[in-house]
């Protein structure tokens, strides 16, 4: 079954809660018949759950300064000297 229609349009609309009741029922019926869409649906659901579970995590206050400190230092160009 060609499911580009569901991958590109219906799955996105489902996760954005844009499907009406009739469309949602049709979507659920399609998932029962199509292993590709069913797999994509479950992978997306797991990804969303993972992201939501990590939303309370915060980087330490010194994180940005620590990363910036580890970056290579850029050499200052001397006045009048153009990328020779």
Tens of pLDDT, residue by residue over 20-77, are 999 999 999 999 998 888 998 999 999 999 999 987 888 899 999 999 999 998 777 6
Residue 1, pLDDT > 50, answer: no
- Residue pair 27/18 in contact (Cβ under 8 Å)? The answer is no
Q: What are phi and psi of 7, to 5 degrees?
A: -60, -45
């Amino acid at each position: 079954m060609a499911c580009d229609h569901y991958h590109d349009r219906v799955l996105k609309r489902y996760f954005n809660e844009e499907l009406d009741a009739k469309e949602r029922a049709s979507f659920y019926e399609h998932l029962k018949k199509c292993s590709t869409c069913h797999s994509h649906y479950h992978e997306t659901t797991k990804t969303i759950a993972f992201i939501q579970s990590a939303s309370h995590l915060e980087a330490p206050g010194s994180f940005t300064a620590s990363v910036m400190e580890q970056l290579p230092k850029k050499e200052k160009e001397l006045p009048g000297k153009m990328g020779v």
